[in-house]
Each structure stands twice: as structure tokens, then as C-alpha cells.
Amino acid sequence: MGKATLEQVVAFGCDHAALQLKAELKAVVAELGYGIEDVGTHSEESCDYPDFAHAVASGVAGGRYRFGVLICGTGLGMAYAANRHKGVRAAVCTDAFMARMSRQHNDANVLCLGARVLGGGSAEDILRAFFAADFDGGRHERRVAKIDDPQAGEGA
Ligand code: RB5
């Protein structure tokens, strides 16, 4: 595949708990043909996960990145912060089924993983399931719209 367009860029962020896993998963996503942007962290020094969650989520919300992958100890803190951004649907996934459903039914655009929860092999399975699936649309369009706007699709 040629150079990735902006719509094909996947942004990665992690904290000190997840440096190694981030490196492994970046390689997988690059192999799938996406461009990669890594917002950090880049060292094992203790840091604050929301800094990286906000950097990735603001880029996804603004259209700079097509998807985000955020990894911390549990994936939870990253998701709390990322989901504060309108239009971002950050899914904490602990298996491939959740990852697939997060794309098919929820049109998730950020995958959150826990480096202290998952082994590298299962994290890769989850990541591959996320990137292999597409949004189903249809009845799910209205439901997803209601995440940001409770009145979406009601009345005229
Ligand atoms: C860092 O110790 C830990 O709190 C963080 O990686 C994450 O699990 C937070 O949700």
C-alpha cells in the first residue's frame, strides 16, 4: 500500500504501564497499511494517562486521525478521558468479540486496552478484530447519534 492518507492515520498513546505493548501493536497496525502517529509517552517515567488520551481523542474528534489506540494499565482511565470528547467513542475491550461489536454496533473510533490485564497475544487478537470490523449502520446509526445527542432522530 502507498503512503497513508490522513483518514488512514491511527494515533497511539500510552502511559508508563504500556510502552512495550504499544510498540508491538503499532507494528501490527502499520502492517495493516495505516499511517501511525505516536503521541507518547516515550519513556518509562511515571506520567499522567489523560495527557495522552486527550491528545489522541482531540485528533480523532477533529478528523486528524481515523482511529486511536490508547493503552494504560487497565484501559479504563484512557477511556474516561477520551470519551469526554464529543464524537469520540472509546471502547475498553478485553476480548475480540467486544472489539468487533464496538465497531459493528457502536462505531467505536478509539480502542482502549489494558497492558496489565491482557497478554500481548490477546491484545493483538483484540486489535486485529477491531480493525477488521466495520460499522453495520442501519438501526445503529440512530443509536450512535443518541450518544452525543439524546434527541437525535426524534421529531423533525
Ligand atoms: C497507572 O498506574 C495506572 O493508573 C494507569 O495505567 C491506568 O490503569 C489508569 O486507568
User: pTM value?
Assistant: 0.94
Is 16 a catalytic site residue? no
Is 105 a catalytic site residue? yes
42: its cell numbers: 516515550
Domain boundaries along the sequence of the chain: 6-148
pLDDT in tens, 108-122: 999 999 999 998 899
pLDDT in tens, 7-55: 599 999 999 999 999 999 999 999 999 999 999 999 999 999 999 999 9
Active-site position among 14, 72, 93, 112: 72
Q: The domain 6-148 belongs to what CATH superfamily?
A: Sugar-phosphate isomerase, RpiB/LacA/LacB (3.40.1400.10)
Of 131, 130, 136, 140, the C-alpha closest to 95 is: 130
Distance 151 CA to ligand 1 centre (A): 35
Distance 77 CA to ligand 1 centre (A): 6
Burial class (CB in 10 A: 0-12, 13-18, 19+), 36: middle
For ligand 1, atom 6, the nearest C-alpha belongs to: 73
70: its cell numbers: 490508547
